Amino acid sequence: MKEIYLEYDHKMKRTIEVVVSDFAAVRAGRANPAVLDKLSVEYYGTETPLQQVASISSPDARSLVIQPWDASLLKAIEKAILTSDLGINPQNDGKVIRLTFPQLTEERRKDLIKQVKKYAEGGKVAVRNIRRDAVDKFKAMKKKSEITEDDLKEIEKDLQDMTDKRCKEIDDLTAKKEAELMAV
């Protein structure tokens, strides 16, 4: 029984890890290489993550420098950045691509907060779906008389507590990211 709990708890933790990685991709005024995590470029006919074809460095708080290992990729990287939702124009000097992050406007900050809240809500829905799957599994076990009615009630309470704890974790992460975005 305990291993089944652990399985669902692990799934909920993985969901929170996904939410954290989504939050990292939302840029907050300063240069963070994580904003490029979801970008991929076509490299010899295959979509390849940007980190696998270039080195990314942050020389100062407001800029990133992308240096591809193969100079022929400069145009493909530039195109990937332009078609992404980063909202930054890359500067290509023939050797490296520079991204300069402008100061966020109030309107852009609010848009980013909406995006963060959308990611958070998606995470909470996923956690609740995991709870629902777990409850369904335990109800099936009760139907087969593998557990009693009292066991089922206690299990449902434990699963709800686990779900509440994970949703609170997501809320805390959301509040922290919002504060980061609103800091000028």
Q: For residue 10, what pLDDT is reported?
A: 92
Return per-residue pLDDT of the chain as tens, 184 residues: 678 878 998 999 999 999 998 887 776 666 777 777 778 888 888 888 888 888 888 888 778 898 888 888 888 888 888 888 777 788 888 888 888 877 778 888 888 889 899 999 999 999 999 999 999 999 998 899 888 889 889 989 999 999 999 999 999 999 998 888 887 5
DSSP track, 97-119: EEEEPPPPPHHHHHHHHHHHHHH
Write down the CATH superfamily of domain 2-24+105-182: Ribosome-recycling factor (1.10.132.20)
CATH architecture of 33-100: 2-Layer Sandwich (3.30)
pTM, to two decimals = 0.70
Q: For residue 29, what pLDDT is reported?
A: 62
- Domain(s) labelled CATH 1.10.132.20 in the chain stretch across 2-24+105-182
- Domain(s) labelled CATH 3.30.1360.40 in the chain stretch across 33-100
Q: What residue type is 167 in one-letter code?
A: C
Residues near 177 by Cβ (< 8 Å), separated by ≥ 6?
23, 26, 28, 116
Q: For residue 58, what pLDDT is reported?
A: 83
